Amino acid sequence: MDYKRYSESIKRMIMPQSFPLGVKIIKKDEPFPDGVVRPSKFGIKVALCQWITLARRWGWVVGTMAEDINCAPCLAAFGFRKLKSKADFVQFIMDMGYFHSRDLASAMAEQSELLKPGEIKGIVIFPLDKAPLSPDLVVIYGTPAQMTRLAVGFIYNHGRLISSETGFGLSCLSTFMPFWKHEPALVHPGRGERMLAGTADNEMSFAAPASYLEALVDGLEQTQKKGLRYPMQGYLLYQPPLIPPMKALEEKLMDL
């Protein structure tokens, strides 16, 4: 698959302010690629969302494994470390102040699709146009208007797109979950990502299995031909009314 061409098409039609990303999920029985920039190079541990931002804004090929991460919810969510009990996760989201009652927190914990401990070894993230290996996922950040444009491109060939709410955290898991669900999602970055990774107030993301990429770009191209494009084209072919001060001034103007 020509990932560079697809990346250029997305950049041309969506105009995102950061690089469209490819993501490779490294399974437990697969080797971790050489030459990938990991936090240990700088003597630090990070939240996974920081490394997403590094890839999409700096253009680096980066990756993490369990020993690179110091975000406890991320360690639990990706199965890099094992939860003793789901009750511990419930207590965490209660302590963070996300829910009014333990019943609500418990219901959310039950709905949270945490990965099985040991299911994956690590994650590699890179600008799609550099693609050192075939990605499992494509992730694109942008404004709500840009996400609308992406959604239009997707539904042209598929007709349905889900939305993932992440206000209580774990944006990283929501971003990568389309790999396991086998369907794209619009993701609303949560509190942690905006605090730690510098994701802007006006940003959200679109994540899709890489197998959807060809159809997505085709949908963008076909809908662009019909005039559905970004920037959105506001209608300007009308005569605005004159407010009283402007009308008063107009009456004092003289023809040449």
> Coil, helix or strand for 101?
coil
Of the pLDDT bands very low, low, confident and very high (cuts 50, 70, 90), residue 168 is: low
Residue 74 CA to residue 202 CA, distance in Å, equals 23
Residue 242 inside a domain? The answer is: no
The parent domain of residue 25 ranges over 3-82+117-234
Among the listed residues 161, 158, 218, the one whose alpha carbon sits nearest the alpha carbon of residue 185: 161
Lowest-pLDDT range of 10-14, 125-129, 161-165, 212-216: 161-165
Q: Are 187 and 166 in contact (CB under 8 A)?
A: yes
- Of the pLDDT bands very low, low, confident and very high (cuts 50, 70, 90), residue 110 is confident
Tally of structural domains, the chain? 1
* Percent of the chain clearing pLDDT 90 (strictly above): 79
pTM over 0.95: no
Residue 27 belongs to some domain of the structure: yes
In a domain, 173, yes or no: yes
**Domain for residue 109, yes or no?**
no
